Structure 1
Amino acid sequence: MSASKYFGLEGHKAIISSLDTKKHRPKIGTRAHQWCQEILDDPPRDWIASLGFGGKVLCQAAKEKNDVDIHTAHVLSQVLPLFVRFS
């Protein structure tokens, strides 16, 4: 889908390799994997416990200001109570 494909293979490779796409990526989440592992190791048993866990991780993420962790914590705080409630 790239317009550079019309410049031939060598031209296309040169243009693509000159683009620095890594500078636009967010920092890797430091807590997201840990939270998911905590849920796996000791899942909340009821709706209130899942709300408490979601609130805890959301506060941690907001304090540390890591975008990936904030998004992960937000999703966990909203979705985890639904999984516990309907299981």
Structure 2
Amino acid sequence: MGCRTGFYLILSGDYKSKDIVDLLIEMYKFIANFEGDVPGAAARDCGNYLDMNLPMAKYIANKFLNEVLLNVNEKNLNYPEN
């Protein structure tokens, strides 16, 4: 499975969406505030290493954090019924 297939959060147990909001907030804060070298951002580690853009990743993480995660409501926690 390549890195462009997405990112996965695997949990064991019976969780509702709202149960993991704090975990997601912590994760997105980590990304938004990350400093240093991006893990795997070298030719020997990743065939698409030139696509890695830390400033843009931080921008998008901060945007999602502020626009969605810090303002979570039922619409964000459940798939639509129809």
- Give the alignment's TM-score, normalised by structure 2: 0.34
Based on CA coordinates, which of the two structures has the bigger radius of gyration? Answer: 1
Per the normalisation by structure 1, the TM-score is 0.33
Task: Write 1 or 2 for the structure with the bigger share of helix.
Answer: 1
